């Protein structure tokens, strides 16, 4: 029976469950990055791998009572630069995870990697440990652009890293950015064409934005004009479509059946356990939906796990009035949207709570008028922030 109370969450079926593992260290903090990443201190050889992995395992154990009986469909190890881990450390971590959760036999297990931290033997070890998908932070194939972005790898290293990854992993994604400092239409095209030459099954293209509390926000570089950025966007879309990639999310392009399952779970408002320094999690129960946040600083996180057995700094129930915006914030990023009934399945609320906003979005031409789908129009995708804001209230 569908819930008709707009102020009370009532879930009849819990959504799919994923696991996110955060690795907080990197060799160098990029000037545009607002993720929870911490540069390895100068003069130190690295980080205490064993201590951090033990903290991750203990953190996962604290979440088990909240997810008993639920199968984990995907794992994503992000950062930071998770490829700084040793192959032995990765094997230890994944073995510990398998021993504690009901992991789908053919689960997608993704690791983020930077070209500068890739070695052939190390990648072979990661694959043997169980990593079957890798996402490489290339950003650009132009050395001048890489320098402007504060990246520590070269174009040659990026190409070599992709070749190594293609030999060892079932799926490879390349992360690239556009709208870079002093970037022209021709330079952007060269980046796209170089990326396409490797025929990886998945590509992600992000428009460089100046995020608060980053170096670039304080000292903005010379970015292209909005007209040039729009032209690059149209060029990218055309080149990718002609190469056989379909755009299934605002910044994600895939060959047939090569979409990232883990990220699709986010965008469909699925659940995920989040472990590690600064990790976020979302867990649903029959009568409520919660969000969690862990300690951001690696030392504070490890100390909390060691002495308190818990590193949560936030564990809150999402109020029913906020669920429509949270749901639409994610699902409207998908170019195909979601079935209308997904809203009630994932939020436990009747669709009628959004009637006014849905009508306004359709009237403005931002939302598809198909009553069986919640889907942004091409105009809605272009002006996604404006569309999402309609659901704030």
Residue 310 resides in a domain: no
Last residue of a domain, one of 265, 290, 312: 265
Identify the three-state secondary structure at position 295: coil
What's 19's DSSP letter? E
Judgement on whether residues 243 and 333 belong to the same structural domain of the protein:
no
Question: What's the CA gap between 190 and 142, in Å, rounded?
Answer: 9
Judgement on whether residues 127 and 240 belong to the same structural domain of the protein:
yes
pLDDT at 101: 97
Q: Tens digit of pLDDT for each residue in 266-321?
A: 999 999 999 999 999 999 999 999 999 999 999 999 999 999 999 999 999 999 99
Q: How many domains does the chain have?
A: 2
Residues 6 or more apart whose Cβ sits within 8 Å of residue 95: 129
CATH code: domain of residue 354? 1.10.10.920
Judgement on whether residues 342 and 247 belong to the same structural domain of the protein:
no
Judgement on whether residues 250 and 108 belong to the same structural domain of the protein:
yes
pLDDT at 45: 53
pLDDT at 365: 97
Identify the three-state secondary structure at position 270: coil
Residue 1 resides in a domain: no
Long-range contacts of 56-60 (CB under 8 A, 24+ apart): 56/21, 56/93, 56/96, 56/275, 56/276, 57/93, 57/96, 57/97, 57/100, 58/305, 58/306, 58/309, 59/275, 59/276, 59/294, 59/305, 59/311, 60/19, 60/96, 60/97, 60/100, 60/101, 60/273, 60/275
Residue 22 resides in a domain: yes
Distances (CA, A) of 18 to 3, 160, 271, 307: 26, 31, 6, 27
Residue 160 resides in a domain: yes
Strands 271-275 vs 17-23: parallel, antiparallel or unpaired? parallel
Last residue of a domain, one of 243, 265, 287: 265
Print the domain residue range for 375.
Answer: 320-393
Judgement on whether residues 141 and 244 belong to the same structural domain of the protein:
yes
Phi/psi at 126 (5° precision): -60, -45
Q: Tens digit of pLDDT for each residue in 64-76?
A: 999 999 999 999 9
Residue 253 resides in a domain: yes
Residue 280 resides in a domain: no
pLDDT at 2: 55
Residue 59 resides in a domain: yes
Provide the b/e sequence for 65-88 (b: ≥16 CB within 10 Å).
Answer: ebbeebebbbbbbbbbbbbbbebe
pLDDT tens per residue across all 393 residues of the chain: 455 566 788 899 999 999 999 999 998 888 888 888 888 875 445 689 999 999 999 999 999 999 999 999 999 999 999 999 999 999 999 999 999 999 999 999 999 999 987 778 899 999 999 999 999 999 999 999 999 999 999 999 999 999 999 999 999 999 999 999 999 999 999 999 999 999 999 999 999 988 988 888 888 899 999 999 999 999 999 999 999 999 999 999 999 999 999 999 999 999 999 999 999 999 999 999 999 999 999 999 999 999 999 999 999 999 999 999 999 999 999 999 999 999 999 999 999 999 999 999 999 999 999 999 999 999 999 899 999 999 987
CATH code: domain of residue 178? 3.20.20.70
Residue 299 resides in a domain: no
Judgement on whether residues 61 and 153 belong to the same structural domain of the protein:
yes
pLDDT at 366: 97
Tokens of 65: 């009572």
> Locate tokens 């009630």: which residue?
344
Judgement on whether residues 344 and 259 belong to the same structural domain of the protein:
no
Q: Are 27 and 82 in contact (CB under 8 A)?
A: no
Q: Tens digit of pLDDT for each residue in 84-114?
A: 999 999 999 999 999 999 999 999 999 999 9
Judgement on whether residues 96 and 176 belong to the same structural domain of the protein:
yes
Judgement on whether residues 220 and 341 belong to the same structural domain of the protein:
no
Judgement on whether residues 325 and 261 belong to the same structural domain of the protein:
no
pLDDT at 43: 45
Cα distance between the two ends of the chain: 26
Judgement on whether residues 260 and 379 belong to the same structural domain of the protein:
no
Judgement on whether residues 214 and 324 belong to the same structural domain of the protein:
no
């Amino acid at each position: 029976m569908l819930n008709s109370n707009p102020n009370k969450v009532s879930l009849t079926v819990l959504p799919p469950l994923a696991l996110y593992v955060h690795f907080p260290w990197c060799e160098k903090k990029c000037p545009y990055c607002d993720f929870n990443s911490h540069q390895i201190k100068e003069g130190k050889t690295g980080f205490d791998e064993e201590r951090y992995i033990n903290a991750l395992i203990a953190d996962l154990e604290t979440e088990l009572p909240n997810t008993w009986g639920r199968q984990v469909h995907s794992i994503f190890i992000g950062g930071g630069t998770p490829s700084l881990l040793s192959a032995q450390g990765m094997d230890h971590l994944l073995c510990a995870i398998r021993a504690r959760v009901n992991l789908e036999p053919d689960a997608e297990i993704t690791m983020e990697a930077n070209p500068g931290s890739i070695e052939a033997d190390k990648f072979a070890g990661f694959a043997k440990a169980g990593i079957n998908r890798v996402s490489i932070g290339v950003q650009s194939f132009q050395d001048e652009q890489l320098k402007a972005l504060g990246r520590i790898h070269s174009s040659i290293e990026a190409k070599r890293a992709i070749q190594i990854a293609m030999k060892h992993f079932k799926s490879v994604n390349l992360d690239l950015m556009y709208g870079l400092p002093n970037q022209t239409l021709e330079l952007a095209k060269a980046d796209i064409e170089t990326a396409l030459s490797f025929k990886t099954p998945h590509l992600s293209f992000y428009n460089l934005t100046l995020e608060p509390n980053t170096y670039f926000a304080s000292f903005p570089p010379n970015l292209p004009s909005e007209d040039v950025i729009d032209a690059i966007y149209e060029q990218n879309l055309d080149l990718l479509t002609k190469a056989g990639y379909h755009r299934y999310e605002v910044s994600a392009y895939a060959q047939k059946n090569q979409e990232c399952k883990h990220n699709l779970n986010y965008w469909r408002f699925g659940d995920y356990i989040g472990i590690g320094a600064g990790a976020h999690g979302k867990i649903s129960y029959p009568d409520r939906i919660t969000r969690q946040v862990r300690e951001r600083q690696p030392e504070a996180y490890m100390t909390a796990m060691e002495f308190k057995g818990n590193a949560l700094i936030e564990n809150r129930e999402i109020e029913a009035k906020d669920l429509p915006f949270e749901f639409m914030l994610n699902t409207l990023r998908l170019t195909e949207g979601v079935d209308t009934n997904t809203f009630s399945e994932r939020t436990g609320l009747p669709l009628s709570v959004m009637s006014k906003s849905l009508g306004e979005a359709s009237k403005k031409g931002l939302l598809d008028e198909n009553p069986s789908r919640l889907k942004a129009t091409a105009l809605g995708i272009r002006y996604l922030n404006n569309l999402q804001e309609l659901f704030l209230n």
